[in-house]
Amino acid sequence: MNTVLPGVLPDLLQTIEHCGPDEGLNILLQRFPGALTFSTSFSYEDQVITHFVADKPVTIFTLDTGRLFSEVYTTWSATREWIGRDIEAYYPDAEILKEFVSAEGPDAFYRSVENRKKCCHIRKVVPLQKALQNKSVWITGLRAEHSPDRGNLTVLEWDAANHIIKYHPLLHWDTGQVKEYIRKHHIPYNILHDRGYVSIGCAPCTRPVKEGENFRAGRWWWEDSSRKECGLHAR
């Protein structure tokens, strides 16, 4: 059972908020040995973080929603070969997903925000909850540049929904830094990024971003653009 309490955050934040990712991870590993986990979607950011955690005692997992782009699986395979270790996969509950798709249809998310959020909850949020069990720190690839909401984050925050500390080691990196790190270290990445896909989610819910659009414009583009989250990072 997770024993981390929100009260540890102020001291921890003060300790690591100005640290680089490698130093920050080492501090957290000393404080919470065996209790760090990293969620990857194989995005630019996540590939950089994978490079930092590959040789550390940090579990790595991904959420396979069943509606991912084929390019995601290609990147997944390339990443396993690159780091030489397993990446745990978590899937939606088959019976719950069957009931939803049978009742609402395979593309129900286009019909209403409620349906879309329910689909995200089944395919992402519930599997995430399983992945985070018995962990104290959840490492993410969130960056302030992604959206106004994420611009207000601190590198450490308390996730009340999952009762876990979230660590965002690349929070203050810009896209140029991320791309340069990938180039410099010859890190495999999702080729969709070269085709205008900035934030890559499920295939039916993601399109390339047009010139002048923000990072999240390619996700659930048929909805109100004021708030675009799937529920994984609800605050």
Cα distances (Å, whole numbers) of residue 114 to 108, 119, 216: 9, 9, 19
120 is catalytic: no
Which among 119, 120, 202, 230 is annotated as catalytic?
A: 230
Distance from C-alpha of 185 to C-alpha of 52, rounded to nearest angstrom: 11
216: Cβ–Cβ under 8 A, 6 or more apart, which residues? 146, 147, 199, 225, 228
Is 44:102 a contact under the CB 8 Å cutoff? no
Number of C-beta neighbours around residue 145 at 10 A: 18
Distance from C-alpha of 211 to C-alpha of 208, rounded to nearest angstrom: 10
Residue 230 CA, chain-centre distance (Å), reads: 11
Residues catalogued as catalytic: 230
